[in-house]
Chain A
């Protein structure tokens, strides 16, 4: 199997250049506090299918909030966000969960693997909330794990794995659902340089095969691997839209 087999599925094949996956317009996020915290201010962001974008900014700039909004883990206070052509404003919890289940793949800094389940089972959870039969789930999980170089570690649990292996399992879990968008939150943050580089190379390769990748990082070396860098400072996104 090649990486082409796990190219965008829910979003289908690449239709044409500059088909937007992420379209954000006037998005703000304000947290209730005294005084209120404006985590995102009038954000304009567009990411096209197949793009590799790094969102960079210092701590407290609003990176995590932007990731949460992009990943439908949090709702914007105002503005409009369309994901793969789907308007997300005012969606019910059920619809937001549905969009997450089919369109988005997450890779977290802390891996967030289920500790008591094997690598295959962890990857399978990527398809657990889709209507995919158990046998098919396992077959696809095995294929993706082979793709990320973990053919011999399929039945190991996260506690028996190195950090690099865990992150590759997390990446496989994101890929197995063939998402329209992969959101990576500091994917190398918990890894040493060599292992981090291996993971980044894997992401590069997946992107080359058509995957839309957004990496959120404060690490300039990581960011520079992307095609485009979007800066965020004090909740304001810079260079979010390429004209």
Chain B
């Protein structure tokens, strides 16, 4: 016997399970796969841009760090304050040497120092640098430098041919030289395997190597470089301006800055001026912030376009499917069932776009990194939830059309066919 017949009020509840909801949404999406894909394209681009942005930003960040670390952030110089403050003024007689003879060894004992050494220009108005074979040729701009082997390494000299002189040559004050690229051209020396000799004044020096470029002391490419001990022994160096160049481990610049003067001249550290790069952290952060802000802006714009795309397509679908909405209502669907179906469809499209966009974004980062020889750096905290951005985009895009679909009265919708 029915409830009505028994006089009892009956309760009829229309329901729609989550599984059925997803199934209905999936059927609606897959009925036109091409159109669905095009609809999701905006989100693909938006999320892809987001992932590529964050990926490229973090990859670029690593590169910025590497560059800073590679050169500026790992370079410390030490100057003689007396020469610096009296630049151009002759040094008073009797002033002692600003750096000790074992400056290189003292510095290299410091924790964080990779290479260190002394260098200076040998200033002698009577210097005559020439090849034995061509005594008449006297290049004017060839300068002679005294360079300790550690300074050559710290300067990151890029050897074209031959070798650099080493600590052994330094300890024995050997008369060997390394030519800078420009100096070698001026002297007409292109190879060193035949051990060519040059004359400085009346003394012969064997050329052991030619340097192409020097990252930290570009002036060396124009110079004839000899071991510091040789330069000290062979020349007066009364007017010399001594400098110390130190290459430090990444992050050690500030530490060495505080220790170098004391290590070199413990009796009078204030005479020395130590120049370390400013902490790159702030500048780095500023650059990263600028880049990331710009790229986030673009990603946000792309997502907005994607959202408008999904909203537009969902709205068109609502209008196209008025009859379906009507019949679903006639079959017992509540307004919320209709709304949730369209919302699920748009959210699914958004999620799909999010997944595709994330994959695409990762590919872009990997590709760009490979092209530029960078190390790909992706932050999983941003990459893994990226598809959720797509889902949220789809959900937001579907809000208005779904609300509109839910508002359609069944009688009106069924008349629309």
Question: Which residues of A does B touch, CB under 8 Å?
Answer: 10-12, 15, 19, 64, 68, 71, 73-74, 84-86, 93-95, 97-104, 106, 108, 110, 112-117, 121, 125-126, 128-131, 134, 173
Asked if B9 is at the interface of the complex by the 8 Å CB criterion, the answer is yes
Q: Is the CB of B414 within 8 A of A125?
A: no
Bound form: Cα–Cα A10–B329 in Å: 18
- A11-B12 contact, Cβ under 8 Å, with A68-B411, A94-B334, A128-B331: no
Q: Add 4 more A-B contacts to A98-B13, A112-B330 (CB < 8 A).
A: A93-B334, A98-B14, A106-B330, A129-B333
- A19-B5 contact, Cβ under 8 Å, with A116-B28, A128-B20, A134-B20: yes
Q: Is the CB of A129 within 8 A of B411?
A: no
Q: Is the CB of A116 within 8 A of B337?
A: no
Asked if B89 is at the interface of the complex by the 8 Å CB criterion, the answer is no
Q: Is the CB of B417 within 8 A of A112?
A: yes
Cβ-defined partner of B4 (8 Å) among A64, A74, A85, A97: A85
Closest to A92 in B: B334
Bound form: Cα–Cα A12–B71 in Å: 88
Closest to B10 in A: A86
Asked if B327 is at the interface of the complex by the 8 Å CB criterion, the answer is yes
Bound form: Cα–Cα A95–B9 in Å: 12
Q: Is the CB of B4 within 8 A of A86?
A: yes
Q: Is the CB of A126 within 8 A of B331?
A: yes
Closest to A71 in B: B330
**Separation in Å of the A92 CB from the closest CB of chain B?**
10
Q: Is the CB of B332 within 8 A of A74?
A: no
Asked if B282 is at the interface of the complex by the 8 Å CB criterion, the answer is no
**Separation in Å of the B285 CB from the closest CB of chain A?**
53
Bound form: Cα–Cα A10–B23 in Å: 26
Bound form: Cα–Cα A199–B380 in Å: 61
Chain B, 316-331, CB within 8 A of any chain A CB: 323-324, 326-331
Cβ-defined partner of A116 (8 Å) among B11, B12, B13, B31: B31
Closest to B24 in A: A128
Q: Is the CB of B331 within 8 A of A100?
A: yes
**Separation in Å of the A112 CB from the closest CB of chain B?**
4
Bound form: Cα–Cα A112–B323 in Å: 6
Asked if B27 is at the interface of the complex by the 8 Å CB criterion, the answer is yes
Bound form: Cα–Cα A176–B273 in Å: 94
Bound form: Cα–Cα A64–B2 in Å: 30
Cβ-defined partner of B15 (8 Å) among A68, A95, A114, A130: A130
- With a CB–CB cut-off of 8 A, which chain B residues contact A95? 12
**Separation in Å of the A44 CB from the closest CB of chain B?**
20
Q: Is the CB of B15 within 8 A of A129?
A: yes
**Separation in Å of the B406 CB from the closest CB of chain A?**
10
Bound form: Cα–Cα A73–B3 in Å: 23
Sorted nearest first, the 9 A-B pairs with minimum C-beta distance are A101-B332, A85-B4, A116-B31, A98-B12, A129-B332, A101-B14, A129-B14, A12-B2, A112-B327
Question: Which residues of B does A touch, CB under 8 Å?
Answer: 1-5, 9-16, 19-20, 24, 27-28, 31, 323-324, 326-335, 337, 409-411, 414-415, 417
A-B contact pairs, 15 of them (CB 8 A): A10-B12, A11-B4, A68-B411, A97-B329, A97-B332, A100-B330, A100-B331, A101-B14, A102-B14, A112-B323, A112-B326, A112-B330, A128-B16, A129-B328, A129-B331
Bound form: Cα–Cα A93–B27 in Å: 27
- A73-B332 contact, Cβ under 8 Å, with A86-B9, A94-B13, A103-B12: no
Closest to B415 in A: A64
Bound form: Cα–Cα A30–B131 in Å: 116
- With a CB–CB cut-off of 8 A, which chain B residues contact A19? 5
Closest to A183 in B: B330
- With a CB–CB cut-off of 8 A, which chain B residues contact A130? 14-15, 332
Bound form: Cα–Cα A10–B5 in Å: 12
Q: Is the CB of B414 within 8 A of A112?
A: yes
**Separation in Å of the A174 CB from the closest CB of chain B?**
9
- With a CB–CB cut-off of 8 A, which chain A residues contact B3? 85
**Separation in Å of the B236 CB from the closest CB of chain A?**
97
Closest to B8 in A: A85
**Separation in Å of the B405 CB from the closest CB of chain A?**
15
- With a CB–CB cut-off of 8 A, which chain A residues contact B333? 97, 101, 128-129
Bound form: Cα–Cα A106–B324 in Å: 13
Bound form: Cα–Cα A121–B2 in Å: 29
**Separation in Å of the B3 CB from the closest CB of chain A?**
8
Bound form: Cα–Cα A94–B2 in Å: 22
Bound form: Cα–Cα A227–B357 in Å: 63
Q: Is the CB of A97 within 8 A of B334?
A: yes
Q: Is the CB of B327 within 8 A of A114?
A: yes
**Separation in Å of the B32 CB from the closest CB of chain A?**
8
- With a CB–CB cut-off of 8 A, which chain A residues contact B11? 98
Cβ-defined partner of B332 (8 Å) among A84, A100, A115, A134: A100
Bound form: Cα–Cα A202–B28 in Å: 31
- With a CB–CB cut-off of 8 A, which chain A residues contact B410? 73
Bound form: Cα–Cα A94–B330 in Å: 13
Bound form: Cα–Cα A121–B410 in Å: 21
Bound form: Cα–Cα A110–B324 in Å: 12
